[in-house]
Amino acid sequence: MNDSATPASRRLRTLVWGAVPVLALTALVSMDHIPGTDISLTVPYAAEGPGPMFDTLGEVDGTPVVEISGAPADGTAGELRMTTVSVRSGMTLAQALSRWLTTEDTLVPIEQVFPPDLSPEQVEQANKAAFSSSEAAATVAAMNWLGRPVEIVVAEVIEDSAATGHLDSGDVITAVDGRGVDKPGQVQELVRAKSPGDEVTVSLRRGGEEREEKIALGANPQDESVAMLGVYMDSQPVDGVEVSYNLQDIGGPSAGMIFSLAVIDKLSPGELNAGRRVAGTGTIAEDGTVGSIGGIEHKVRAAADDGVELFLAPTANCAEALQGKRGDIVVAQVDTLDDAITAMKDFGAGRDVVTCG
C-alpha cells in the first residue's frame, strides 16, 4: 500500500472495505442455506397471520362450499364465513425480521406448528385427519340439532394402515366388537381403548351386504402407544340426505362450528344469520359443544377488515380475540351451537349479544 495516499483516498478505502462485512451479513441473513452445503440458515420460528376466508353459504370454484343433496335446501342470505390462519415457515432471519417489523403477524416457535418428532408428511396427514374429523363432527352436530339420525361412512382408507385390505371407501360401519355405533367419535373411543396390535371386529355394510372384518390395529404416528384403525370417517343422515364439504388444501379442526351452522341453515326454514355478514371459528363436538382454536386474533382482524359485522368466538378464546385491531365488529362468545344461533338471532333483531369482554 502507498503510504502517500491522500486522506480522502484512505477514507474511500475505509468505506469500501468497511462495507464488506455489512454486505456479507445482508447476504447471509437472506440465504436459506450455506452455499455448497445442506446446512440450513432458516430460523426456528413460523409467522402466523390472517388467512383466506370462505363463505360456507356460498360457492368456491362454482361448487357450493357446503353441498346438500337428497333433500330440498332452504334459501339462505348474507354470509357465514369460516376463517383461517396463514403460516409461513422456512424463513431466513431477514424474512422473519421483516414479518415482525412490517406486519401484524406473530412469530411462534416452529415446534408449535410442526412437531419436531413428525415428518412434514405426517403433519399433513394429521391436519387432514383433523379436518376430516371436523367435517364428520359438524354433520353429526347439525343432524342432532335438526333431529335427524345418522350413520358412519368410511371416507378414505389411509394407505398401508391397519384398515387397508379390510375396509373400503363408502363402507358403512355399524358396530365395533359387537357394540352398535352411529357416530365417528364412538368408533374412535372404542379403538383407543385398545392397544396397537390388538384385534378388533368391525361390522359393516357394503353394497347392501352385511359383513365383518377382523383387523389388527396399528399405531398412531403421533403417539405410538395409541391404537389406530387407519380410516377417515364421515357421517351421513340415514334418510338419504348427503352433506359434502368442498374445500381443498385446508387443514385442522377449526371450521367445525361454522360448517355445522351452514348445514343447519340450509336444512331449516329461515336464515340463522338474519341475512347479515357473520364469521367465526371453533371446533365442534358431536354433542354441539364448541371448542377453542389457535390464531383467533388474526381471524378477527381479517373479518373486521373485510366488513364482517358479527364474529362468533369460543369463550375460551375471548382474551385473544380481543387483541389487535377490531374496528366495529361485535365479537360474541359461544360455548355451544345453541349459543351461536342465539347470538346471530339477537344480533339480527338488534338485541344485546353476549360478547367477549
Q: How many CA atoms lie within 13 A of 276 on its CB side?
A: 23
Pick 164 or 223 by higher pLDDT. Answer: 164
User: Across 13-17, 116-120, 311-315, which has the greatest mean pLDDT?
Assistant: 311-315
Pick 76 or 19 by higher pLDDT. Answer: 76
Cα 354 from chain centroid (whole Å)? 25
Cα 158 from chain centroid (whole Å)? 19
Q: What is the pLDDT of residue 35?
A: 53
- Express each pLDDT in 278-308 by its tens digit: 999 999 998 899 999 988 999 999 999 999 9
Q: What is the pLDDT of residue 242?
A: 87
- The x, y and z cell numbers of residue 255, run together, are 371450521
Q: What is the pLDDT of residue 3?
A: 47
CA quadruple 332, 292, 234, 122: dihedral sign: positive
**Which is nearest to 170 in space by CA: 71, 236, 263?**
236
- Contact assessment for residue 42 and residue 90, using Cβ atoms and an 8 Å cutoff: yes
Using H for helix, E for strand and C for coil, what is the string for the chain? CCCCCCHHHHHHHHHHHHHHHHHHHHHHHHCCECCCCCCECCCCEEEEEECCCEECCCEECCEECEEEECCCCCCCCCEEEECCEEEECCCCHHHHHHHHHHCCCEEEEHHHCCCCCCCHHHHHHHHHHHHHHHHHHHHHHHHHHHCCCEEEEEEEECCCCCCCCCCCCCCEEEEECCEECCCHHHHHHHHHCCCCCCEEEEEEEECCEEEEEEEECEEECCEEEEEECCEEEEEEECCCCEEEECCCCCCCCCCHHHHHHHHHHHHCCCCCCCCCEEEECCEECCCCEEECCCCHHHHHHHHHHCCCCEEEEEHHHHHHHCCCCCCCCEEEEECEHHHHHHHHHHHHCCCCCCECC
Q: Bridge-partner residues for 334, per DSSP?
A: 314
**Residue 14 clears pLDDT 50, i.e. is over it:** no
Average of per-residue pLDDT values in the chain: 85
**Residue 5 clears pLDDT 50, i.e. is over it:** no
Q: What is this structure's pTM?
A: 0.73
Question: pLDDT band at residue 110, thresholds of 50, 70 and 90?
Answer: confident
Q: What is the pLDDT of residue 223?
A: 85
- Express each pLDDT in 169-226 by its tens digit: 999 999 999 999 998 889 999 999 999 999 999 999 998 899 999 999 999 988 889 9
Q: What is the pLDDT of residue 38?
A: 58
Q: What gap in Å lies between CA 353 and CA 345, rounded to an integer?
A: 9
Q: Are strands 106-109 and 54-55 parallel, antiparallel or unpaired?
A: unpaired
**Lowest-confidence pick of 106-120, 220-234, 263-277:** 106-120
**Residue 9 clears pLDDT 60, i.e. is over it:** no
- Express each pLDDT in 326-353 by its tens digit: 889 999 999 999 999 999 999 999 999 9
Q: Which domains does the chain have, with CATH numbers?
A: 42-146+241-357 (3.30.230), 149-238 (2.30.42.10)
Q: What is the pLDDT of residue 29?
A: 45
